[in-house]
Amino acid sequence: MNSSISKYFSEMFKAIASLWAGMRITGKYFVSPGEIVTQQYPENRATLKMEERFKGEIIMPHDENNLHACTGCGICEMNCPNGSIEIITNRVPNAEGKPERVIDKHIYHLSMCTFCGLCVKTCPSDALAFGQEFEHAVFDRSHLTKVLNQPGSLLRKEAKK
Amino acid sequence: MSEEIIKDVIIGENEEYIINMGPQHPSTHGVLRFEVCLQGETVKYLIPHIGYIHRGIEKMCEAITYPQIIHLTDRMDYLSAHINNEAVCLCVENALQIEVPERVKYIRTILAELNRIASHQLWWSAFGMDLGALTTFFYGLRDREKILDIFEESFGSRLLHSFIMPGGLMHDVHPNFQKRIKEFIAYFRKKLPEYDQLLTGNIIFQNRSKGIGLMSRETAIAYGVTGPSGRGSGWSCDIRKIAPYSAYDKVQFNEMLETEGDTFARYKVRMREMWESMNILEQLVDNIPEGDYTAKMKPIIKLPVGEYFQRVETARGELAVYIVSDGNKTPYRIKFRTPNFSNLFVMNKITSGYKIADLVAVSGSLDLVIPDIDR
Amino acid sequence: MSSNLYDFSTLTSSIHEWLSGFMSAGWVVFTELVLIGLLFLLFFALLGLFLVYLERKVCAIMQNRVGPNRVGKWGLLQTIADLIKLLIKELIPIRKSDKFLFNLAPFIVIIASLMAMAALPFAKGLQAIDFNIGVFYIMAVSSLGVVGILLAGWASNSKYSIIGAMRSGAQIVSYELSVGLSLMAIVIFSGSMQLSTIIESQANGWWIFKGHIPAFIAFVVFLVASTAEINRGPFDLAEAESELTAGFHTEYSGIKFAFFFLAEYINMFIVAALAATIFLGGWMPFHIGSWEGFNHIMDFVPPIVWFFLKTFFIIYIIMWFKWTFPRLRIDQLLTLEWKYLLPISLVNIVFIAFLVLMGWHF
């Protein structure tokens, strides 16, 4: 009898102590607003810096002379698991008069891309890279289909060696 | 009108009061449906209905090459994406008899353990929320963010990082990798005791979880309940111990076992696994050997004709990959034995007779990831 | 006495005299009723919105978040924007629901909490009606709300709703006892059920201080039991969003949902105000024994400020409960009441009666 009464009360006080331990944690965070981790996203757009390896989208880097490194070999198209890359090539005669393959359009379907990185990894001439743009919301799905090579851009010759 | 309502709502003793929990329900963590038969508040039986997020990953894998399969395995158990990737890579490497560099093994193990901690953090958050302690969700995600930042720095993506490929890694880890892991361990060692104070010690939580959803060792083995859920029933089923892969044979760690088999035991296993994962990380992070980040691989991977099998320990249990190859660059058949599929179907056995609130607690303690069930 | 400085009864009686100057007595009563009703409705709406905002802000800071911060300065207008959204949302009709009861339920809930507010003394003389059974009235009226919850669950023709409503019924029936007994403790101390008398009796010290340990126990029991009675915090079984999606108001949308939502917060305010009135001296300023200078400074803070300070302190504690603890299960909820709170408050009340009988209190 006596032990059961003491058990009743000791259990109750232990329970209250355990509840108080939890309340101390939330209370501690309540009085330390410095711990707030929320990013103020649209406001911090100017300072928001993505990691350099961030996989935002596939881009084809062009240099200042509007030259890129894509030879149009089609390895990225072949390696893409989702068919999000389409390459349209032309045959254009080069300086020696022989027909040479150049890309007409390197089409990238962002809507189908799963960012596995195989195209960037397998590209033999390092023509593709990941861009850091992540605000991809658009009003029309057709805006997600992009042509990666800029109009009038040419193949960088020294990249061929 | 009111007669219909009476017929609908008032039920006799022997009639069944069936409610559908899901496909959209806060406690099923995804598109899973439980057909729950109740008597008052007590669960009589429960039928899980799956397939709401079936994408046919196994079938899709038959049409794509081995490196391409990796990014689909991310989408099964997205919370231990890296470990899923590793399973396929290990299987392909075994088939080709490739020895990957030591550096790759170490980095893979570190990533797997980081992923395990991140997964358990999310589980802890969601489990607390299932039981009504809403604040746990934010504390867990706050700390998980630190791991995701490490991932983002090295692989460029936070959740589904197809970072490893057959033969090694996509590219080398970021120079800050080791430093940031050490920072994280120091940070999380301070935060993890708070988890205990907030939830583990809480009397309401203990009453809600102790003695609920009892699963005996025999039941766990019979249903193939692996991972922390199986170890909570005293079944030693840690693949990292039984069949060490990557660098697990080089580290000292304990398999976490609890014998009670209730919800609280499964909870304790996961909490202790977070500590143990940090121990593993500490052993590995300073000893990453220098070297290549990938073995020499042919550009097109073709497995020799035959059957290949590999199992790994994900955050939720045993993931097994079974590949049948006919010598082509695509598998003839690939089969994933996913942990959640087996873990789910023990629900009926261990929840019948408990209250509907306990059903939520038990399903939280099994830590189900629905896309992993449906594949 | 400087506490007469902020006596609202001079204001109210002057309004009464001004109205009596050009109206018959009956019209004066009618006009006053309308005036008070309008004032309370306005106060009710603003308070509900502010409490929703407060809760979101408090829980956000506890969870290392910022909380609402888009609409207005610090997000102060967020709840008003939410209200506008709820007002223009569609009221989804439920097939096979009992239309009349379904539409009636939100009003019952909100009327019950509005009625309870009438007896709350906000400051000296600022009380709509000063019953001689004020405590009893508030208890009786505030538990009317459960009728609305039961009706909502019943009429929704939803299985989740009826489970939530049944839970709520069981919960209120049990916890009403503890609430009553813990209030009774102070009623014994002060010897009156009239709220103004209870407050006057605390002029020389709040009951939580001069009532020794029994008053403190009664205070804790009241806090726990009343949190349960308003379906909040760890006792929100009637809603139990992770089990029953939204419990009794699963099928409600638009402004009818807003009524339930507002009523929950107003009930929280009523409970907190009652706790502040009964245990923490209502609008009485904080005095320490014989520190005349200190007491004098405290007297200059208007009573209405004291009242709201104490009330919001209790509200904060109730919010703190909610955002820390996991939810109880229905059987544990009843165990807590019948095995712990009820016996403790029964013993407590006997002990208090003994104390008062022997005259062992201040």
Give the separation between CA A49 and CA A36, rounded to whole angstroms.
Answer: 19
What B48-54 contacts at long range (C-beta under 8 Å, 24+ apart), as own/partner pairs, is B48/B344, B48/B345, B48/B347, B48/B348, B49/B22, B50/B344, B50/B370, B50/B373, B50/B374, B51/B374, B52/B23, B52/B370, B52/B374, B53/B370, B53/B371, B53/B374, B54/B374, B54/B375
CA distance C262 to chain B (A): 21
Residues in chain B: 375
CB B209 within 8 A of CB B267: yes
Residues in chain C: 362
How many Cβ atoms from other residues are within 10 Å of residue A13's Cβ? Answer: 9
CA distance A34 to chain C (A): 8
B1 pLDDT higher than 50:
no
B12 pLDDT higher than 80:
no
Chains that touch B (3 or more CB pairs under 8 A): A, C
Which domain does B196 fall in, by range? Answer: 65-346
Nearest CA to A16 out of B341, C215, B197, B203 is that of B203
Give the per-residue pLDDT at C121. Answer: 80
CB C228 within 8 A of CB C179: no
C160: contact with B, CB 8 A cutoff: yes
Residue of chain C whose Cα is closest to the Cα of B201: C325
Asked if ipTM goes beyond 0.85, one says: no
Q: Which residues of A touch B57 (CB under 8 A)?
A: none
Q: By percentage, how much of chain B surpasses pLDDT 70? A: 96
Give the per-residue pLDDT at C328. Answer: 86
The per-residue pLDDT of chain C, averaged, comes to 81
Give the separation between CA C269 and CA C310, rounded to whole angstroms.
Answer: 11
Nearest to B202 among A18, A54, A114 (CB): A18
A161 pLDDT higher than 60:
no
For chain B positions 86-145, those within 8 Å of chain C (CB to CB) are: 128-135, 137-139, 142
* Interchain CB distance below 8 Å, B27 and C242: yes
Work out the average pLDDT over B170-176: 83
Q: Which two tokens stand for residue A77?
A: 């198209």
CB B88 within 8 A of CB B321: yes
Work out the average pLDDT over A11-17: 83
C65: contact with A, CB 8 A cutoff: yes
Residue of chain A whose Cα is closest to the Cα of C59: A30
Burial (0-12, 13-18, 19+ Cβ within 10 Å), B63: exposed
The model's pLDDT over B180-227, given as tens digits with 9 standing for 90+, comes to 888 889 988 888 888 888 888 888 888 888 888 888 888 888 988 888
The model's pLDDT over B318-360, given as tens digits with 9 standing for 90+, comes to 889 999 988 888 888 888 888 888 888 888 888 888 888 888 8
Nearest to A81 among B64, B197, B299 (CB): B64
In a domain, B327, yes or no: yes
C interface test, pick of B2, B4, B5, B355 with most C CB neighbours within 10 Å:
B5
Number of domains in chain B: 1
Q: Which two tokens stand for residue C321?
A: 């409960």
Q: Which residues of C touch A27 (CB under 8 A)?
A: 62, 320
The model's pLDDT over C212-253, given as tens digits with 9 standing for 90+, comes to 777 888 888 888 888 888 888 788 887 777 777 777 888 888
Q: With DSSP H G I counted as helix, E B as strand and the rest as coil, what are the percentages for chain A, rounded to 5?
A: 35, 20, 45
A1 pLDDT higher than 70:
no
- Residue B34's DSSP bridge partners are B21, B48
Categorize the per-residue pLDDT at A158 as very low, low, confident or very high, splitting at 50, 70 and 90. Answer: low
In a domain, B252, yes or no: yes
CB C356 within 8 A of CB C188: yes
In a domain, B45, yes or no: no
In a domain, B133, yes or no: yes
A91 pLDDT higher than 60:
yes
In a domain, B147, yes or no: yes
Give the per-residue pLDDT at C289. Answer: 67
The model's pLDDT over C42-69, given as tens digits with 9 standing for 90+, comes to 888 888 888 888 888 888 888 888 888 8
In a domain, B70, yes or no: yes
Q: Phi-psi region for residue C245, left (φ > 0), alpha (ψ -120 to 50) or beta?
A: left
Work out the average pLDDT over A118-142: 85
Give the separation between CA C83 and CA A99, rounded to whole angstroms.
Answer: 69
Nearest CA to B179 out of B288, B103, B280 is that of B288
The model's pLDDT over B27-71, given as tens digits with 9 standing for 90+, comes to 777 788 888 888 877 888 888 888 888 888 888 888 888 888 888
In a domain, B295, yes or no: yes
Read off the CATH number of the domain in which B232 is found.
1.10.645.10
A74 pLDDT higher than 70:
yes
Please give the distance of CA C341 from its chain centroid, rounded to a whole number: 20
Size of interface A-B (CB pairs under 8 A): 70
Residue B141, CA atoms < 13 Å, CB-side half-sphere: 16
A31 pLDDT higher than 80:
yes
Give the separation between CA C70 and CA A155, rounded to whole angstroms.
Answer: 49
Residue of chain B whose Cα is closest to the Cα of C246: B26
Give the separation between CA A105 and CA A107, rounded to whole angstroms.
Answer: 6
C333 pLDDT higher than 80:
yes
In a domain, B136, yes or no: yes
A94 pLDDT higher than 60:
yes
CA distance B149 to chain A (A): 9
The per-residue pLDDT of chain B, averaged, comes to 85
Give the per-residue pLDDT at C7. Answer: 67
Give the per-residue pLDDT at C3. Answer: 46
